Structure formats: structure tokens, C-alpha cells
Amino acid sequence: MCVVALKGNELIEAFHLLQSGGSVPEEVRAILKLSFFDKLKIKMGFPKYIGDFTNDGWSGNLPFYIVWCHWHKIFFIDYPHGFDNHFHCPKCLEEAEKLRARLADGKWI
Ligand SMILES: [Zn+2]
């Protein structure tokens, strides 16, 4: 259960803000802060559960996690997707989108 009335997207924005040196309200920082051991565990492949949150257009809540992207070397927040409960790194999604656009334009390479 989570006492902070934040939407998932707002939490993700707050996390980006915090990662780039900005400040967020203390109760939000408490949810998002990572200890040394948290970081170690996450990097070893064990995402940290931070609570159930909703987003606009959702009928309920989903569990949100802080995850590590081994490719981009960043922490990010996401909820499990698909049957295999995978996570989407925002930078991986961005690169996939650029690749799709290049392929659609016939500009491969
Ligand atoms: Zn990535």
C-alpha cells in the first residue's frame, strides 16, 4: 500500500528529477531513494518494488519497480509488461523508435 497519492507517470518524472540533481518532496524522495545495497541488488537483476500506482486511463493499480538497464547503465522506473513481466528502459525504447523510423524511411545504416 502506498500513502502518497501520485500517479505512476508523476513518480517516473520525480525519479528523473532526482537523478539529475533536482529536489522532490521528502515523502516522494523516501519512496525513490536507493541505498548502496538496493543499487547492488537491482544491478544484479532484482528490481526494487516501490508500490502500486495507477495512471490516467488505467482501471486499477500496477506494481512499480526501480530497474537497472545493463545496456544504458541507468536506473529507471517501470511496471511489468507482457506475459513474461519484462520492463522497458526508456532509452532502449527511444532507440528502438529511432530504428523503426529509419527502417520506415528506408534509411537502413
Ligand atoms: Zn536501456
Q: How far is CA 98 from CA 35, 68, 105, 106, in A?
A: 34, 22, 11, 12
CA of residue 68 to ligand 1 center, whole Å:
8
Output the pLDDT for position 1: 47
CA of residue 71 to ligand 1 center, whole Å:
5
Could you state, in order of their start, the residue ranges of all structural domains in the chain?
Answer: 8-104
pLDDT at 109 over 70: no
DSSP 86: B
CA of residue 27 to ligand 1 center, whole Å:
28
More confidently predicted of 106 and 79: 79
Instruction: Give residue-wise pLDDT tens across range 2-32.
Output: 556 889 999 999 999 998 999 999 999 999 9
CA of residue 81 to ligand 1 center, whole Å:
15
CA of residue 46 to ligand 1 center, whole Å:
16
Instruction: Give residue-wise pLDDT tens across range 37-65.
Output: 999 999 999 999 999 999 999 999 999 99
pLDDT at 88 over 90: yes
